[in-house]
Structures are given as C-alpha cells and as structure tokens.
Structure 1
Amino acid sequence: MYTITFLKMITIQMNEIEENKIHTHEKNNHYFAIDLLKALMIFLVVFDHTYPWKLKNSMGVQLWERISIPIFLVLMGFNMGLSFKKTGETSLKKLYTRLYFKKKFWRYIFPFLVAYLLSTFIGLAINDFDTDVLDQYQREWSFPHLFLGILPFWGPGNWFLPVIFWSILIMPLLYKGFSGKPKWRIITLILCFVIEIALHLTVFFVFDPLNVPTPSPEHDTLIFYYNFITTSPFFMLSGLGLGIWFSKNHDIFAKQNIFMWTLFGVSFFYLIISQFLSFRFAFIFGDYHLFVFPYSAFLFLIAMKLIPKNPSNLFVKGIKLISKSTYHILLTQIIYFAIVINIWGDHYGASIFGINPLYNPFVVFLYVFINWVICIPIGILWWYGETKLREYRLKRKSLKFFFFNPKSSI
C-alpha cells in the first residue's frame, strides 16, 4: 500500500514538473539571435586571445572582432531585464531575493570556485609548487584575488569575471531605475553614461598609479585598487544600461530607440579614427567604454531585427548548446591560455602545441582553430556535466522529501 502511494506521489510530482516545463516553455520569451550572438562572441574571444596585435591592427578589428565584450555586456543587461520583467516585480525587496542570489551562485560563483581550485592546482603542479607564479594584480597568491574574482594562475579574459560578479549585485538596482515611468527610464540611462564617464575622469585626475615609482609596495597597492575600479561594472555601465533599455523594446525602428541612430554614428566615427588614426581620449581608460558600446548595441538591434526568433534545426541546437556554455568556455580558455603562457611565454600566436613568434598568418590561424577545438568542447562538457550533476542532486533531494514526508507530499 505504501509502495503504491509512494509511486503515485512520484508520478504526480513528475507530471507537475513536466507541466511546469511546458508552461515555462510557452511563456519563455526566448530569442535565437541572443544564442547566436553569444556563440559568435565566445569564438571571437578565443580568436582575440590568440591572434597577435601585429596582425590584427591591419584587419580593422575594432569594427568586428573587438565587439565581443561590448556585445556580452549589452546581452547581460538585456537578459537580466527580460528576467526581471517576467517576474512582474519592481520593488527592490522582491528583486533582491534569496532565489535570485541562489540562481546566480550556481550559474556563476560555483563554476568560478571550481575554476579557482583547478587554476591553483594546475599552476602549482606545473611550476613545482612555486607560489610566485600565482600572480595577477599582486605578487604571489593572496586572498584579495578571491575577493575580486581573479584566478590566481593568470589567463587572458580573467578581468571580465569581476565585472560579472559585481553586476549580480547592482542589476536589480539598475533594473529598478528602468522599471518606472518613461522619464525615469531616460534619467536612469543618462545616469549610466554620466557615472561611467565620471569614473573615467576620476581615475584620470585623481587616481594615477602610473605616476608612482616601480617596483614599490605603494605601486602594487595602487595597481590593485586601480584594477579593482576598472574591472567593476560601473566602469562599463552604459553597456549594461543600454541592454536593460532594449529589454523594454528592442525594435531598431521604435521611437524609444531613435537616439541609437545618432549614438551609433558617433561611436562608429570614434572607432574609425581610433582604429586607423590611433586616436584616443586621454581621460578614457581601456578598450571598452561609452564611446564604443553604442556601436555594438546597434549591431545587437540589427541582429534582433533580422534573425528569426525561434528557428528549429540541428545547427540551431548546436548554437544553443554553445550559448548555454559561454561562461564555462570563458573559464576554460582562461585556464588553457594560462598553461600556454607558462609553456611558451605568451598567448599571442600560440597554442598548447607551439608558438609562432614570427606571426605567420597561416600558422597563427591554425593555432586559432586548434584553440577553438580545445576550449569550446571542454567548456561545453564542463557545463553539461555540471548541469547533470545538479539535476541528479535535485532529484535525490525530491525523492528524500517524498520518502520522509509522504503525507505532506500528497
């Protein structure tokens, strides 16, 4: 009798799960353009970390290859805006929920902790357990690395992890500003640009670690805090803000997006003179900022307009799989290139199998292909394995609940 009841409870629960899946699928406001952009951008990230600047400078990369991070920032804002919009909540109390942080922990923090342990072990193992090799913003391994979100065994792309982690904390607050009346949405978007440029100006006029003699403890400390500021989402707030803005209406011809045509023109002009005339504003730091984000944001709008929303074929399934795995691929390529750097002394023009210091274009692109073949599948397998383990854990948890609470489960 108890066995029959137990089986009935499992059947009921499984049916509920399937119904929830169907219901969620029906309500899911999913766009294939997002998956395609994410997949293409992660390929460009690996390309960027392999192809040397000596060759890239003549390829106009600012207009097509260096768009990966700006596109990712816009997508982060857009996806978060859609996610919050589905809940229908606008109060900070209901945006900053335990469930929100739990989801972000398993999506971003847990894989990072795994990568942190792997990075530390690999770095020590291939360097005879010499802790001096475990450095990024400071000499040797230190606790602030973990606090910042920096892997101790350095690899290119690591700087973007703090941007992701700090974004988790500010996204609900940012969405709150965009969820009100149109005038408040406009004010919030303007503030995103103002805050970003204010930070650049502050660093330029007040905080200049380059003027401190090296090497010195003071210089190391300043560099640490300098990187702490410049790898925060506030330093790239306009990209996130534009993404959330588009989550309300991503039609490139919508009245609310008319201003983007002007911003695109300004941004495109800046990228042209930056790429071909080496022009840069002295007070702007880094490659990703408010003068480049509108260009990529406009490309995002074009993609959303032209790419079908929900096509279905084998290619689409493959793209979606890569899209779901982009974060794990990012972590994979960070660790992979850390190993490449340790072996060959550089990651440009290199793969795990060798380096081409003369930068022969054919050999370099061969290494790009090799790095794609290594990093992309490993990242996918990591994501897939982690997902299956979590599903298994949740099923076991549900079965334990049924077994020990049969009455409350009916």
Structure 2
Amino acid sequence: MQMNEIEENEIHTREKNNNYFAIDLLKALMIFLVVFDHTYPWKLKNSMGVQLWERISIPIFLVLMGFNMGLSFKRTGETSLKKLYTRVYFKKKFWRYIFPFIVAYLLSTLIGLAINDFDTEALEQFQHDWSFPHLFIGILPFWGPGNWFLPVIFWSILIMPLIYKGFSGKPKRRIITLIFCFVIEVLLQLTIFFIFDPRNISTNSEYANFLVYYRFITATPFFMLSGIGLGLWFSKNHNIFAKQNLFMWILFFISLFYLIVYQFFDFRFAFIFGDYTLFSFPYSAFLFLLAMKLIPKNPSNLFVKGIRLISKSTYHILLTQIIYFAILISVWGDHYGGSIFGINSVYDPIVVFLYVLINWVICIPIGILWWYGEDRLRENRLKRKSLKFFFFYPKHSI
C-alpha cells in the first residue's frame, strides 16, 4: 500500500521534470479558444475562417492527449497490458480527472438549484442537447457547453494503455495501429450513415431517437481516434522532418484543402458528421509538430511560468467554464453572446468580444485556483504518506 504511494510520488515528480513548453503553450492557447468558442456566436464566426484557427482547439487537445500518454507510458518502460493497467495508473487518473468531475457534479447541481429557487427542473438543462441515458457517461444534469468532452476523457482512461501497446512495438505494428485508428473512425462514421440513416429522418421523435445513439457514439474517443493515434505516433519521434513523419506533409495539405472548402464553400461529405474528423485532425497535428519544432523546449521567465500554470489547470478550467456557461444558459437562455453581466442577442461584434474578455477573466483564474487547491492537498497527502512510510519502514526508504 505504502510502496504504491511512493511510486505514485516518483512518477508525479518525473512528469513535472519532463515538460515541453510548446505543449504548455498549446494547451493554454487552446483553453482560451474553448471559452472563445462558447461565447462567440456562429453568426459571427462563420465569416472568420474559424475552421483554420479557432476550431483547432479540440483536435489539438486530442493530439496532445495521445502524445502525453505516449510519453508517460514510455517513461515507465512497460509494454505489457498487465503492467500498463496498474492500480497506480487508475488511482492517478481518478485524482486527476474523476475526483474533480465529482466536485463539478456536486457544485453544478447545487448552483443550478440555488439560482432557480431549488426548482428541480433546473437539473433537466441537459435536455438542451442530451437525453437521460447520457447522464451515466458523464453529462451533467445542469449542462453547459464543453460537457461532451468529459466522456471522451473518461473513455480514454480505459483504452489508452491498449492503444499504446500497439504503438510500442516494431515499426510495422505501429503503422498498422495508426491505420487501425483511422479505420475505426471511418467505420463509426459509416455506421451512423448507413445504420441510423439520418437522411431518412422525417419526424421529431425519429430525430430524438437518432440523437440518443449519435451522442453516445460521438462522445467517445473512438469517434476521434485518428487524432489520438497521431499523438501517440508522435510520442516516438516528434521531429517534423523525421522519416516517420514525412507522410504528415501530404496529409497536412489534404486536410488544409478540406478545411478550406468546408469553411468557405460549404463542402460536405454526406457520410462524415461533425467538425472533428479524420479529415481535420492532420491539419492540427501538423501545427503541433510545427510548434514542437519552433518553440524552445524549456525557456524560463515569468511569462513561461504563467503559461505553465494555465497548462496544468486546463481540465479544471474546462470544468469551470462548463459550470459558468450553464449558469448563463439558465439565466439568459443561451451562452452565445453572453457573460455573467448580460447577453447581447443582436451579436454586436464589439460587445461580444468584450464578453469574451470578461469570460476569460472569470473562467481562467477560477480554474487555476481550483487546480492549485487540489494540487496542494494532493502534495500534502503524498508527503504524509511518505513520512508515515519512512517512520514505520526506515530501511525500505533508503
């Protein structure tokens, strides 16, 4: 029991000392874009070419998810599933993701009830986009935008060691695993197209039934597996000019062309659903490689420290903005064009951008403070465990 605590502490320390500033900078920028995305209405965004710069936030996060997990597993030196699926692994993920989610669940529920005079109908806000069965995969009753990404994270905890095993072998197996990630995503898209057949939906009840299954599928990492797979692939070698990454130059231009015609010419493949697909991920993945090439690995100044702090807090900032925008929906009826101080329903660009700034100022610091408080509690817990182990088993601590 105590040895697991010591091992957990050692892993935590090693990860702190193996950061790339490019990763921290990307995470910080992307979480700012998430808040921007949930404030700026589509009526304004459609003319801003957002597919090329603003809608990259989730694809970048998925690539980073795969890359970071690949590095984390590689540092352990383990490749067998038995040693990848460990008690320490799940315990670490619980405290990193599940515990904050439980806190967010309780907070959002209490806030939702409090601002609605404890009317339980406030907890049906999830029906804005979701159904009751989705509450069991991580959708909050007092729903806010961005909530859909939480089930993706929870699912990734379960499948990431399995996918990493495919990427940890010889080059041939790694190539097959990467192709497999793309194939799985294509098969899910085709499943939605042919089996659920949204083309022939004619009634509201049929559409509601379709959405139940559609949301279950799209709120999993399997629906975006190519992005995660590319991140895991890069964890072996992230040099943009490396031989193993030359194929990315081809995929980048294909993806760029797709996003341009998607954004400016309303081109759509009938069998592809959503913005985050295998046709858009290579563009963001290439930007990731470019950032890793151009940004110094470990600079040191006050700006860097601030960026690293935001980077560490991105999950808590995500939870914070989910709750925050849930409040806006409950109070104003929408989150687009709004802040806690009001909503601009005519979508004046200047007013809306002012609200973006306000929402940044509110969500980012609160998320940082939330993460900082949890981190201090965790550090103190580990120190107490270490001291207790040293006191009772001094020979084993040397």
TM-score (norm 1): 0.89
* Cα deviation 1:188-222 (Å, max 9, x = unaligned): 10111111011000011102468566554x76554
List runs of 5+ in structure 2 lacking aligned partners.
1-5
SS of the residue corresponding to residue 253 of structure 1 reads: coil
Give the distance between the partners of 1:38 and 1:140, measured in 2 at CA: 27
SS of match in other structure, 2:331: helix
The answer on whether the counterparts of 2:134 and 2:216 sit within 8 Å (CA) in structure 1 is: no
Calculate the aligned-residue CA RMSD, in Å. 2.5
Aligned length: 392
Contact 1:209 1:226 in 2 (8 A): no
Q: Which runs of 5+ in 1 are unaligned?
A: 1-15
Is the 1:209–1:223 contact (alpha carbons within 8 Å) kept by the matching residues of 2? Answer: no
Code of the residue aligned with 1:392 in structure 2: it is: N
Residue 333 (structure 1) aligned with residue 310 (structure 2): no
Structure 2 counterpart of 1:80, from 69, 73, 85: 69
Give CA-to-partner distance per residue, 1:335-365, whole Å, 9 cap, x none: 0000011111111111000111111111111
Q: Give the C-alpha shift of residue 139 in structure 1.
A: 8.6
Distance, in Å, in 2 between the alignment partners of 1:293 and 1:378 is 30
Structure-1 residue corresponding to 2:243: 255
1:382 alignment partner AA: W
CA displacement at 1:295 relative to structure 2: 0.2
CA displacement at 1:21 relative to structure 2 = 9.3
Instruction: Choose the corresponding residue for 2:187, options 183, 188, 198.
Output: 198
Relative distance call for 1:41 and 1:342 in structure 2 (3 A) is: same
State whether residues 131 and 212 of structure 2, in contact with CA within 8 Å, keep that contact through their aligned partners in structure 1: no
- Matches for 1:79-98 after TM superposition, within 5 Å: 79-98=68-87
Over 3 Å counting, the alpha-carbon distance change for 1:76 and 1:279 in structure 2 is same
* TM-aligned CA deviation for residue 406 of structure 1: 6.9
Mapping of 1:304-343 within 5 angstroms? 304-343=292-331
Q: Structure 1 vs Structure 2: percent identity of aligned residues?
A: 82
2:348 to 355, 360, 366: 360
What is the alpha-carbon distance in structure 1 between the residues aligned to residue 29 and residue 353 of structure 2? 17
Larger Rg: 1
Partner of 1:279: 267
Q: Which residue of structure 2 lines up, in the alignment, with residue 59 of structure 1?
A: 48
Q: Structure 1 residues 22, 213: CA separation in 2 closer, same or farther (over 3 Å shift)? A: closer
For the Cα contact (< 8 Å) 1:49–1:347, is it kept in 2? Answer: yes
Once the two structures are superposed, the pairs formed by residues 5-404 of structure 1 within 5 Å of their partners are: 24=14, 28-135=17-124, 138=127, 144-208=133-197, 216=205, 220=208, 222-401=210-389
SS in 2 for 1:332: helix
Measured in 2, the distance between the counterparts of 1:341 and 1:111 equals 22
- Larger mean Cα displacement after TM superposition, 134-143 or 70-79: 134-143
Counterpart residue number, 1:5: none
Deviation of 1:294 after TM superposition, in Å, equals 0.2
Q: Is the 8 A contact 2:130 2:212 kept in 1?
A: no
3-state SS in 2 of match to 1:248 = coil
Paired residue secondary structure (1:135): helix
Secondary structure of 2:46's counterpart equals helix
Contact 1:229 1:235 in 2 (8 A): yes
C-alpha separation between the residues in 1 aligned to 2:130 and 2:262?
Answer: 37
Q: Does the CA-based 8 Å contact 1:157-1:334 persist in structure 2?
A: yes
Query: What CA distance in whole angstroms lies between the structure 1 residues aligned with 2:120 and 2:198?
Result: 25
Checking the alignment, whether the CA contact within 8 Å between 1:134 and 1:140 is kept in structure 2 is: no
Please state whether the residue corresponding to 2:18 is helix, strand or coil.
Answer: coil
Give the superposition deviation at 1:397: 3.6
